[in-house]
């Protein structure tokens, strides 16, 4: 009888272990993705599931917030960021599996305004006109925010910069919230990205910055996290991001497929990524 109970206990343990293993293997990969990729990424995830039968979960936020989340939770399968310098930080902190970084779409900082441009904003200097309501991303946590701060610091006169800062009515917590401010007409203009008018063609227009105002451009980078619970599925998704179908979707939303295309749109060669030491007077927004 004792041997019988011992055998039954052993079988229960084996079954529990097997069930736990299956549940873990069946976990949907978690993609931690910069909010600037939401529109194409949602469609790419749908296409991936349709083609492979595999489902994934996506969490969108500002990349600074996501990087802090990864550091604290040690969770996630894939990290998607808008610049190689951010991925270097993630790699330096030990979060990434070496050799897994994939590039996706390029994009250029631009002025985004309400449809029809009722305030007649044609340049960065126009954003420093008194009486305008403008917004930028939080430069401490949002990639487009630090690009905006750098552009204002390097391209405006001290007087223009002072008025530009005065015109800022809020700082977006991530790119989606920055875009929503414009869609809901809560601001007249934002410093966003070249593709935003294609996200909301009936609500937003894009105004090019002068080539000399643009300090750098962004490119999507995706990599496998060390903490992945489902590496095979995560690796398949990474491969899909580099496939023609994903490139087609990025083009649909007017991301640039190559650096050459992005620089041709600007009219000048520009570096991809790079660091900018944020001055202290931008802190605490």
Domain of 128: which CATH number?
A: 3.40.190.10
Instruction: Say how far apart CA 127 and CA 166 lie, in whole Å.
Output: 10
pLDDT band at 137 (very low <50, low <70, confident <90, very high): very high
Same domain, 167 and 278: yes
148 domain residue, yes or no: yes
Same domain, 62 and 124: no
Same domain, 211 and 241: no
Pair 189, 134: CB distance under 8 Å: yes
Same domain, 138 and 210: yes
Q: Could you report the per-residue pLDDT of 48-77, keeping only the tens digit for each?
A: 999 999 999 999 999 999 999 999 999 999
- pLDDT surpassing 50 at residue 243: yes
* Burial grade of 213 (CB within 10 A; 0-12, 13-18, 19 or more): buried
259 domain residue, yes or no: no
Phi (first) and psi of residue 54, to 5 degrees: -95, 140
The predicted pLDDT at position 83 comes to 86
State the pTM of this model: 0.84
Average confidence score pLDDT of the chain = 90
277 domain residue, yes or no: yes
- pLDDT surpassing 60 at residue 110: yes
Same domain, 81 and 113: no
Helix segments in 186-243, DSSP class H: 196-199, 231-241
Range of the domain at 140: 109-216+272-282
| Domains: count for the chain | 2
12 domain residue, yes or no: yes
Q: Lowest-confidence range among 8-22, 24-38, 259-273? A: 8-22
7 domain residue, yes or no: yes
Q: Could you report the per-residue pLDDT of 29-38, keeping only the tens digit for each?
A: 999 999 999 9
Residue scoring higher pLDDT (217 or 85)? 217
29 domain residue, yes or no: yes
For tokens 């000048």, name the residue: 268
Pair 236, 47: CB distance under 8 Å: no
What Cα–Cα distance (Å) separates residue 169 from each residue in 179, 274, 285?
14, 28, 11
The predicted pLDDT at position 240 comes to 96
Same domain, 113 and 97: no
């Amino acid at each position: 009888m004792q041997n019988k109970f011992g055998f039954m206990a052993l079988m229960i343990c084996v079954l529990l272990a097997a069930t736990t293993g299956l549940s873990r293997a069946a976990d949907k990969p978690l993609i931690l993705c910069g909010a600037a990729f939401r529109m194409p990424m949602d469609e790419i995830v749908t296409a991936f599931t349709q083609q492979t039968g595999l489902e994934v979960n996506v969490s969108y936020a500002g990349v600074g917030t996501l990087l802090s989340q990864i550091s604290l939770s040690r969770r996630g399968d894939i990290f998607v960021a808008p610049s190689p310098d951010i991925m270097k930080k993630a790699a330096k902190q030990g979060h990434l599996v070496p050799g897994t970084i994939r590039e996706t779409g390029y994009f250029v900082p631009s002025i985004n305004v309400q449809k029809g441009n009722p305030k007649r904003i044609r340049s960065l200097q126009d954003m420093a006109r008194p009486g305008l309501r403008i917004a930028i991303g939080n430069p401490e946590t949002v990639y487009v925010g630090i690009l905006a701060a750098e552009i204002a610091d390097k391209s405006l006169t001290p007087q223009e910069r002072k008025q530009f800062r005065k015109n800022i009515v809020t700082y977006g917590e991530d790119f989606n919230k920055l875009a929503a401010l414009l869609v809901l007409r809560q601001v007249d203009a934002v410093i966003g990205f070249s593709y935003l008018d294609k996200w909301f063609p009936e609500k937003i227009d894009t105004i090019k910055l002068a080539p000399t105002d643009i300090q750098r451009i962004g490119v999507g980078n995706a990599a496998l996290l060390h903490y992945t619970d489902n590496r095979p599925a995560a690796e398949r998704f990474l491969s899909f991001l580099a496939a023609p179908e994903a490139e087609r979707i990025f083009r649909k939303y007017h991301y640039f497929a190559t650096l050459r295309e992005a620089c041709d749109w600007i009219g000048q060669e520009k570096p991809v990524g790079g660091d900018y030491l944020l001055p202290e007077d931008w802190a605490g927004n």
